[in-house]
Structure 1
Amino acid sequence: MPRRPPERFAFDALQVDPCADQPLYRQLEQRLRDAILAGQLKPAERVPSTRRLAADLQVSRNTVSLAYAQLLSEGYLEAEVGSGTRVSRHLPDDLLQASPAPRTAASAAVGPRLSRRGSSVAALGQWITLPGVPPRPFRPHVPALDLFPRHIWRRLSQRRLRRMPWYEWGQVPPLGYPPLREAIAEYLGISRGVRCTAEQVVIVAGAQQAIDFVARLLLDDGEAAWIEEPGYTPARHLFELAGVEVVPVPVDGDGLSVAAGEQLRADARLAYVTPSCQWPTGLTMSLPRRLELLEWARCQSAWILEDDYNGEYRYDGRPLPAIHGLADDGHVIYMGTFSKVMFPGLRLGYLVVPDQLREAFRAARWMADRHSPPFEQAILTDFINEGHFARHLRRMRTACAARQQALVDALDRHLGGAVEVVGRESGLQLLVHAGAGMDARRLTTAAQKAGVEFHPLSVYAAAEPEREGMILGFAAYREEQIEQAVQDWAVRLERG
């Protein structure tokens, strides 16, 4: 077997720190980009395969793949069939400097710049994941895409292509395709206890747009909003970008602590909550706490934004009715999405708003992007009205319950007392803490070395949590994948 020619650049000396705040793939991407720009890696120079570099650096192959994918998309690397991956041959000469001149404060200030809000948006780049990269156990926020009935969706799409009137290909009302709004209102009344009419349903491009509209339309600069702590960090960012003062309110076993919120900012104008499946703990807000939150909203003339992103996934009894169904005075705005029960690429969600807000949301949707695509809305309408949605949801509940149990069993079998599992009653994720006598950093380092994907609890907390945790998604992974990933994790942990 011919020996591999020696490499001029010491790839195995690249430094990545699993304990750093920045993800490993971002660190590796930056190290390689710096080496190219500094001339340490020359144009057309070959880089190692993902498998070999992963082994050299003792990181997962997915980490290297993510770094390479970003550099390929930026033009720093190029790939050819049969030739592997190389440094791009077409980089501008003025970028390839052995010692690039440092930027001074004066030079950085020359020319147009971002606004303060723009700088805040740019700082959120770490939340943007690369598309098209297959998830590995146990990446959260990924539904069971392998179970989606694509053959039914294809058939409905083809039928709509043949039968959809020409004028519906133009525009639909900004609030959404009327038959879809009717179907959603009927579904919510039956399954989630939400009392609403189709006129109150606003179709949006997913949960992020819904939160953004709520923040901009209901809160003025400097007004306060309660956010669960720990909680859904992208929501916190959206409120901050809208000029809202974010007040992290601690979560206990009953949900967001209203008493703690009143001590922090009783005059807040809105509370953002995930009561059916608190993100990221997976716990459910108790009925007394829901009633307490409603009473606070009434006394303060405040809003409650109820994010029911995972309300359908409950494994201990029937799904609990929404807070919206307990209120009759218009203080609750209900929010849902099809990302977790169908597929994220659909980019369709909805809000249920009081009648007095309908015109404001209609105008906001029209100014933002007019409306969601009518074709996808029409197909989704058929999917719901013909019973496919209800059947798919039942299948998903059964499968996700089995996958959750497979993860719990695998953790117990292979890691035992090294981990402590929280929040099994609902959702598509588990929160795991290091068990008694186990060092949390050692546990997470072993997971990273085994190629196990997870989200640290700290990224969803405004302050350092009392106990660091790992958020493990399970919905997208078959039982055998779950077993193998936990087994690999345990082996790495044992090796130290």
Structure 2
Amino acid sequence: MSWSDVYPWSPPRQGEPVIRQVYDQVRGAIVAGTLKPGGRLPSSRDFAARLGVARASVVAAYDLLLAEGYAVARVGSGTFVSGDLSGVTELRPPVAERARPPEIPPRVRDLDEMVLPAPQSDPRLFSTGRTLLDARAYDAWGRSMRRALRTLGPEHFGYSDPRGDAALRAAIADYLRAARGGVCEPDQVLVTSGAQHAVDIAVRALLRPGDPVWMEEPGYPATRHALTAAGADIHAVRVDASGLVVAEGMAAAPQARVAFVTPSHQYPLGVTLTMGRRMELLNWARDAGAWIVEDDYASEFRYDGPPLASLQGLDGGDRVLYVGTLNKALFPGLRLGYAVAPRPLAAALANARQLMDRQASTLTQAVVLDFMREGHFAAHIRRRRIAYKAQRDLLAAELRARLGYVLEVDAPEGGMHLIAYLKDGRSDLAAEAQADAGGVTVRAISRLYRRIEPRSGLMLGFTGFPVRAIPAGVARLAQALA
């Protein structure tokens, strides 16, 4: 690719040799690296017209560049920057001494030191955050895309509502009322780029530096990073078999401003917050005047009994900011999620979302809306729930059969991964490295603890690959850990 067509060429100045000025401009762009080796230069005719000079002047300037090795001519194709500038790069002008850079602010250092997860493109068995579209969903998605492209309207060519498409927000509200017992109307729904985007918006809107917050321990690292970046005072609240231990949070930070929780399928342990704990958490929030951010990231996939009502539905929508995602329900590359805001927060969250990246893709929203309206979304969820349950059960059974001597397997009631705890004090970090060397991906959960004694365990995803691949994958894991 050549950028010569958009380079800001300047017309020659009066009173100075035209050929030399054209030569200096082109040579300067090549030496500076703006025009890359192999890039095409403008034709002499077009370049002359653009500069307002005689074509002969441009041809003469090009002849100088050719003679000095900056350019090469290709018969029938044009003039190009030389692919080998080794003989002329010493002509690059010396770099001026730079002034002392400004001091790096502490917040920038905090962000720079964060250990963020690598892109989850790992196709290997047991990697997490992966989904599968079956043939029916794939075909339906293609039809929805084609319909959306055929019906492009003015809203797709300009700025739109930062809250999201009104029809899609209404469809999401209908879905949440039916599936999660949500109490919401379309004007409370905010379309985001995913659950983490929604959490980040909530952090920006609800917290000031130094505000105390509750966060589950162990917990989702991206939420911790968002809170750290905002300067929040994070209080780690332990998670046990019943979920967040609310009493410990009340003892540690009774006046916390916000509690960040994953009640349906706690990340990473996979436990479900019991009804008693849910009511205890809501009562604390009412008494303390606090908000709750409910990240319901995998609520669609519950395999053992009906899902418990969402905190947002139990509360009536007064103090719970509900977060959901379509990326887990469909596929991560979709980059679409949503938040349901209590009415006093709805306008502020929409403004914060607009400041961050203005709006979600209108075309993507149109495709999802068509997919939902045609009934494909609900049908896809039903099929995936059956398939994922079978994958969860087979993975748990294979792990117990082959690795029961070293792993204690905890099959979750829902979600997209399970936890296998290591016995006899074995290091999950070492096991993670052994599995990686053996060609499978597991994640050590000990690194997700910050302030309490970690438990050694491995996180294994079971949703991103065919069920028939699981036995062979467990065999490889067993060989690696042996």
State if a TM-score over 0.5 links the two structures: yes
1:417 is paired with a residue whose SS is: coil
Shift of 1:404: 0.7
Q: What is aligned with 2:471?
A: 483
Q: Does 138-147 or 399-408 show the bigger shift?
A: 138-147
Distance 1:174 1:148, change over 3 A: farther
Q: Is the 8 A contact 2:192 2:336 kept in 1?
A: yes
Quote the Cα distance in structure 2 between the aligned partners of 1:277 and 1:167. 37
Q: What is aligned with 1:120?
A: 110
Q: What is aligned with 2:332?
A: 344
Q: Does 1:461 align with 2:452?
A: no
- Which amino acid counterpart does residue 110 of structure 2 have in structure 1? S
1:350 is paired with a residue whose SS is: strand
Shift of 1:210: 0.9
- Which amino acid counterpart does residue 310 of structure 2 have in structure 1? A
Long gaps (5+) in structure 1: 1-88, 93-108
Q: What is aligned with 1:72?
A: none
Alignment of 1:166-181 (within 5 A): 166-181=154-169
Alignment of 1:216-255 (within 5 A): 216-255=204-243
Q: What is aligned with 2:435?
A: 447
What do the CA deviations read for 1:8-35 (whole angstroms, capped 9, x no partner)? Answer: xxxxxxxxxxxxxxxxxxxxxxxxxxxx
Shift of 1:234: 0.8
1:272 is paired with a residue whose SS is: strand
What do the CA deviations read for 1:312-368 (whole angstroms, capped 9, x no partner)? Answer: 111111222211111136111110001111011111111111111121112112211
Quote the Cα distance in structure 1 between the aligned partners of 2:411 and 2:401. 19
Shift of 1:283: 0.7
1:420 is paired with a residue whose SS is: strand
Quote the Cα distance in structure 1 between the aligned partners of 2:259 and 2:430. 37
Q: What is aligned with 1:302?
A: 290
What do the CA deviations read for 1:4-61 (whole angstroms, capped 9, x no partner)? Answer: xxxxxxxxxxxxxxxxxxxxxxxxxxxxxxxxxxxxxxxxxxxxxxxxxxxxxxxxxx
Q: CA RMSD in A?
A: 2.5
What do the CA deviations read for 1:108-128 (whole angstroms, capped 9, x no partner)? Answer: x9524543222222222x424
What do the CA deviations read for 1:150-195 (whole angstroms, capped 9, x no partner)? Answer: 2211111111211232344322211110000000000000010001
Quote the Cα distance in structure 2 between the aligned partners of 1:491 and 1:441. 17
In percent, how many aligned pairs have the same letter? 39
Quote the Cα distance in structure 1 between the aligned partners of 2:474 and 2:328. 24
Shift of 1:91: 13
Quote the Cα distance in structure 1 between the aligned partners of 2:287 and 2:430. 48
> TM-score scaled by structure 1?
0.74
Quote the Cα distance in structure 2 between the aligned partners of 1:349 and 1:250. 27
Q: Is the 8 A contact 1:442 1:493 kept in 2?
A: no
Alignment of 1:3-402 (within 5 A): 110-112=100-102, 114-124=104-114, 126-130=115-119, 133-145=121-133, 149-328=137-316, 330-402=318-390
- Which amino acid counterpart does residue 456 of structure 2 have in structure 1? E
2:107 is paired with a residue whose SS is: helix
Distance 1:441 1:339, change over 3 A: closer
Shift of 1:466: 3.7
Q: Is the 8 A contact 1:283 1:423 kept in 2?
A: no
Alignment of 1:409-428 (within 5 A): 409-428=397-416
Greater Rg, structure 1 or structure 2? 2
Shift of 1:446: 3.4
Q: Is the 8 A contact 2:238 2:244 kept in 1?
A: yes
What do the CA deviations read for 1:70-128 (whole angstroms, capped 9, x no partner)? Answer: xxxxxxxxxxxxxxxxxxx9999xxxxxxxxxxxxxxxx9524543222222222x424
Shift of 1:242: 0.9
Q: Is the 8 A contact 2:428 2:445 kept in 1?
A: no
Q: Does 202-211 or 192-201 show the bigger shift?
A: 202-211
Q: Is the 8 A contact 2:396 2:411 kept in 1?
A: no
Distance 1:177 1:441, change over 3 A: closer
Q: What is aligned with 1:42?
A: none
